[in-house]
Structure 1
Amino acid sequence: MDELSGLLDGPRARGAFLLRCLLDPPWSVGLRDDAPLSVTAVVRGHAWLLPAGGEPSRLEPGDLAVLRGRAGAAYAVIADDPATPVQAVIHPGQVCRTPDGRELAEEMHQGVRSWGNAAVGETVLLTGAYAVDGEVGTRLLRALPDVVVVRADEVDGPLVDLLAVETVRDAPGQQAVLDRLLDLLLIAVLRAWFARPGTRPPGWWTAQADPVVGPPLRLMQHHPEHPWTVAGLAEVAGVSRASFARRFHEQVGQPPMGFLTQWRLELAADLLLEPGSTVASVARRVGYGSPFALSAAFTRQRGESPRQWRDRGQPGPTSTVSATASNTSHQSG
């Protein structure tokens, strides 16, 4: 597992919020939903993205934006025009209200996973939000700017069109289908952004292409259960122990064993949230010789035991908008 896969693997990528927005001008939506990560794609028309403290961007059909949320604060506005006053605000739990507090879920409901001020919409947007509960994704989130905009010609394949079609289907297992499609869309956006000239990808991303650091780095990520040593990793790299340690630190930003310890504990945080997991089973999977050893390292780094972390993990709140759409679709069926 590499770090990009780590964001999208496990409980965080399941049950993601997804909605189709159908909008006629004038329209303007403020975002303060506390979602750590969200993706917006333009299917038809256009939209202005106005991030808090950032430069406005006009999004055209096929363009995508990834936004990092700000807990407890408004972090962006999406509108037909930068001058349009905010008419709706998305709050935590995907609850939608007017700026003066009136709920809009029923009023703007437009069918299965669809919402807006029009039945067809001059502009059609897809928006998906992740509740990233684990810590593998946290490393990636720290590496991203508040806003990533990727243009239609930078992303290969018909993912936006396919997601638009699947969003309005109400079939058994549809949530799993939507989760996987949203995962693919997010991966495509992040790959395009990391590969763009002029961007500054994190060290752990660029280091994977380094001929010396890359192979040992991938081995640690894919096989954290192995009893790795700096000497053993240097042998894989084909260089001396001192040369490998120095180059790894330069490329990744931390020593090899420091990276490995952090990676193991971040994986453990994710695995502990899986149904049926135990401290003993997770310890084996991430390279600790006993539950006690994992507990000691986990508690030392995080300030709480693995059991406390697992017991505290809760699923994200139910969306008022999606609950309304689901109830309506089942009643009509």
Structure 2
Amino acid sequence: MLSDQLARARARGAVFSTLRRTAPWGLGFTGRRPLTAHILLDGTGWLTTAGDEPVRLAAGDVVLATAGEPYRLVSEIGADVETITDARRRGSDDGPGPGSRIVCGAYVVEGSVGRSLLESLPRFARIPASAQNPRHRDAIGLLAAEAGAHGSGQQVLLDRLLDLNLVYALRSWGQWDGHRAPGWYRALAHPRLAQVIQAVHERPAHRWTLETMADAAAMSRAGFAATFKEVIGQSPGAYLTEFRMGHAEDALLRTDATLASVAGSVGYGNEFAFATAFHRTHGLPPGRWRAAHRRATDHEPVDDHAP
């Protein structure tokens, strides 16, 4: 299920910063980006936001920050802060003294499945170095080295390395902070629900009903429906509709497939039934929704200086 989520939520033209700072230091972020990865390569620091308790950061910690109010990364509470825009223009501090290196990568998330992933995350998800496996730490080292280098194809490589870091970070976060993980992730610990969710993700066009889903789980309909709602937080029907609409959105935005083709690919027997369900969810028929969102995407500005 995590693979299915990430297949439609990838880095594209990501904005990277690799900065060395000598204490005291502070970096301020707007919080406008949908998802930003911060990695404290060495040294220590704090994550601070207005009205919340500061969070201590150690060397190697990863923080995934979703959109919200402005926030800061600082060496110590009360340290002066410069905006990330000014920090990137100024570059790294090369002077003597104990220093910290901070990698920041802004993630451009596309598609409704990507939004679903973001909605499942807390405002800040901290993955301590102690919760990372050795391959994740190796990937972080490679990301840091490449972010400070220059070469052909660098942007594509950075995008993919940020993807890799996100996969590792989400996997570690779900295991380390499982009580806050999304319902579909918690379902992985329930073998019968996991096999149903996997089947739905692999075959969205199948004629799924409560009965066929319960049969796939080898459970009674009542027992399956109750367990599904308790673990995932949605009824099976609501989950199925949301998942299918997410796939439909992505097909409408990323391909030129006909509405009839999109309808069939997400389990609707005809274009009318699909259009009715889509309109109920989105407030627009799929054709008009596609046209409106493609225009919005074509004209969407990207602020390269606002991780």
Shift of 1:189: 1.5
Give yes or no for contact 1:10–1:274 (8 Å, CA) kept in 2. no
Partner of 2:11: 13
Q: How far, CA to CA, are the matches of 2:305 and 2:238 in structure 1?
A: 43
Counterpart pick for 2:79 among 75, 80, 84? 84
Shift of 1:278: 4.3
Question: RMSD between aligned alpha carbons?
Answer: 2.6
The alignment's TM-score, normalised by the length of structure 2, stands at: 0.86
Give yes or no for contact 1:6–1:137 (8 Å, CA) kept in 2. no
Q: How far, CA to CA, are the matches of 1:44 and 1:17 in structure 2?
A: 21
Q: How far, CA to CA, are the matches of 1:138 and 1:162 in structure 2?
A: 27
Residues 1:306 and 2:264 aligned together: no
Task: Among all aligned residue pairs of Structure 1 and Structure 2, give the percentage whose two residues are the same amino acid.
Answer: 36
Q: How far, CA to CA, are the matches of 1:128 and 1:31 in structure 2?
A: 12
Partner of 1:153: 130
Deviates more, 1:238-247 or 1:155-164: 238-247
**Given residue 106 of structure 2, which amino acid in structure 1 is its aligned partner?**
A
Partner of 1:317: 301
The Cα offsets for residues 38-75 of structure 1, whole Å up to 9 and x where unpaired, read as 110012323321133322123222111111221xx42x
Partner of 1:138: 115
Give yes or no for contact 2:36–2:104 (8 Å, CA) kept in 1. yes
Q: How far, CA to CA, are the matches of 1:119 and 1:169 in structure 2?
A: 20
**Given residue 104 of structure 2, which amino acid in structure 1 is its aligned partner?**
T
Counterpart pick for 1:50 among 43, 48, 51? 48
Deviates more, 1:221-230 or 1:270-279: 270-279
Q: How far, CA to CA, are the matches of 2:271 and 2:14 in structure 1?
A: 32
Give yes or no for contact 2:37–2:65 (8 Å, CA) kept in 1. yes
Counterpart pick for 1:226 among 203, 206, 215? 206
Q: How far, CA to CA, are the matches of 1:46 and 1:152 in structure 2?
A: 12
Counterpart pick for 2:100 among 88, 113, 123? 123
The Cα offsets for residues 199-221 of structure 1, whole Å up to 9 and x where unpaired, read as 33222211122132221111112
The alignment's TM-score, normalised by the length of structure 1, stands at: 0.80
Partner of 2:247: 267
Give yes or no for contact 1:13–1:179 (8 Å, CA) kept in 2. yes
Partner of 1:166: 146
Give yes or no for contact 2:205–2:267 (8 Å, CA) kept in 1. yes
Partner of 1:331: none
The Cα offsets for residues 223-269 of structure 1, whole Å up to 9 and x where unpaired, read as 11111122222222222223222222222222212210111001222
Q: How far, CA to CA, are the matches of 2:99 and 2:74 in structure 1?
A: 13
Residues 1:62 and 2:39 aligned together: no
Q: How far, CA to CA, are the matches of 1:31 and 1:321 in structure 2?
A: 10
SS in structure 2 at match of 1:135:
helix
Give aligned pairs, total: 298
Deviates more, 1:5-14 or 1:215-224: 5-14
SS in structure 1 at match of 2:287:
helix
